[in-house]
Structure 1
Amino acid sequence: MTTPRAWFITGATRGLGRAFTEAVLDTGERVIAAARDVESLGPLAEQHPGRLVPLALDVTDRAAVFAAVDRAVSEFGRLDVVVNNAGGMLYGMVEEATESQVRAHLDLNFFGAVWVAQAVVPHLRAGGGGRLLQVTSMGSGGGMATVGFYGAGKAALDSVSEALAMEVEQFGIKVTVVQMGGYDTSLFTTGTTMTDPLPQYQDLRTEMTAMWGDATSPAASTAAPAMLELASLPDPPRRLILGSQSFDQVHEMNRAREDYYRTWEHLSRMAPG
């Protein structure tokens, strides 16, 4: 009988993290579910005795991350799949953001994910390999007004994760950058920090609000089957856009960027480098 895999999922109490946790448990596998406040996971742990271990963790605390990963390994004896999902949103114009807001945001969305990756790699290597799924965003390919710092943190994580994938593949560790599309999560409510708006940006803010619109996003649970499939592929991709509509949007954005580069190709080629 095959031993169920052991998963380590951050940001596991809400949104995509909660959906992934529930989906993994439904397959009969085991989860260390990490989040700052894990009280809401109590009923789920009772439903899955011995297979769900809630673990209070602030991923911005590097020492706490390493201690939590060590505890996770001691609980299940190994780690097989890590979903680096914890994150938040800083919403507002670049000029409006305070130093403390920017640093706190990047501590969570970028540095926190890096600490988790650093902590789990030695254990995955010791176990002969494993999967590391780095959750970023479909919007990490470029900046957009009001969500510039969110895109910046995710873009940085994209780049580091691709480097990490090259570094650890020799150990049997497969890293995938999962560029998530728009799902119905609490990212824009409880997961959001708002800047104090400057009146000079009111027209643009109104324009961006209208552009975001009020369309209903798919439930977070609808992303879970693809994540389960991804974690089971023998040769997974290093980068994956997750979401049908998001795939089309990213494809269109990339095509528009290529056209834009071509428009200014003559200026680019004036320099010999």
Structure 2
Amino acid sequence: MTKVWLVTGSSRGLGKSLCEAVLEQGDRLVATARNPAQLDALAERFGDRVRCIALDVTDENAAAAAVQTAVDAFGRLDVLVNNAGYGNIGSVEDTSLAEFREQIETNLFGTIIVTKAAIPVMREQGSGHILQFSSVGGRVGAMGRAPYSAAKWGVEGFSEVLAKEVGPLGIKVTIIEPGGFRTDFAGSSTTIREGRPEYDATVGATARFQRDYNGKQPGNPERAAAVIVHVAGLDQPPLRLALGSDAAKVIEQADLARLEADRAWREFSLSTDFAASGQAFPWEGK
């Protein structure tokens, strides 16, 4: 059975590769971008199986209209992919509050807004799959990308709660966590600022690495798209899926280190219960 997809951020990067993979396998698609003229090639190539529309993910009315386009054109919405997003590089100190808000609005609130627009349709259908693009930076604090990581950690928490709430309604949720892929994400889509000298060994190093890494990332967008399409067809998809060897490695290392730290400080954690009253604190008598 063919599926109906809605993909945000369809004009380039992983979003573009995913849209092509979806249409090549015969599914139907609502492709979205801030500038829908960037999607003309999709419309020319795939005809009536795709609708290309403008969407600013921070606009509630536009999000509702995008979901309604899927219903009006194809009768349903089976898969929502919240892919639109961006992340600049700069220190916390040198990043303005306005820029924090802009990145969080797009990366987190944009995901929330489009998700909320889609839920009623999927709930009434009794089925659907919501794919939320997070990042390796949604599992590990990405130095120099505080607004981006703050937003993506928010996507992770929001989506984990969402999965528990809508799972009984027949709606699946999968959080996608890409590492480095050879897309425009680290190129013209990103503003890179090394910042003041005091941050040269941290944010500065991140900025230099990003410039050098661009074009050398291990991730292949076409293979990522194939994996995502396959996962969207599973009866029991994962809640989280890291994409790319770099993401898998970094996330595993971070999770193991976090577990070790939790175990090392476990006595402190347990010492705060009422049941521990009268007992010495871990640091007392040592």
TM-score category of the 2 structures, normalised to the smaller one: over 0.9
**1:66: Cα distance to partner?**
1.2
Q: Which has the larger radius of gyration?
A: 2
Aligned AA (1:235): Q
Kindly report the root-mean-square deviation, in angstroms, between the aligned alpha carbons of the 2 structures: 1.9
Partner of 1:175: 173
Task: Tell whether 2:186 aligns with 1:185.
Answer: no
Aligned AA (2:118): V
Partner of 2:239: 238
Question: What is the percentage of aligned positions where both structures have the same residue?
Answer: 37
**1:99: Cα distance to partner?**
1.5
Partner of 1:26: 24
**Alpha-carbon contact 1:96-1:196 (below 8 Å) kept:** no
- Cα distance in 1 between the residues matched to 2:217 and 2:142: 21
Q: 1:211 to 1:265 in 2, by over 3 A?
A: farther
**Alpha-carbon contact 2:108-2:155 (below 8 Å) kept:** yes
**Alpha-carbon contact 1:96-1:195 (below 8 Å) kept:** no
**1:194: Cα distance to partner?**
4.4
- Cα distance in 2 between the residues matched to 1:236 and 1:183: 22
Partner of 2:199: 201
Partner of 1:260: 261
Partner of 1:61: 59
Aligned AA (2:260): D
Q: TM-score, normalised by structure 1?
A: 0.92
**1:255: Cα distance to partner?**
0.9
Task: Tell whether 2:93 aligns with 1:92.
Answer: no
* Residues paired across the two proteins, number: 271
Q: 1:256 to 1:211 in 2, by over 3 A?
A: farther
- Cα distance in 2 between the residues matched to 1:131 and 1:45: 24
- Cα distance in 2 between the residues matched to 1:196 and 1:98: 15
- Cα distance in 1 between the residues matched to 2:142 and 2:122: 36
SS of 2:18's equivalent in the other structure is helix
**1:72: Cα distance to partner?**
2.4
Partner of 1:220: 221
Q: 1:103 to 1:209 in 2, by over 3 A?
A: closer
Q: TM-score, normalised by structure 2?
A: 0.88
- Cα distance in 2 between the residues matched to 1:260 and 1:207: 26
- Cα distance in 2 between the residues matched to 1:12 and 1:247: 25
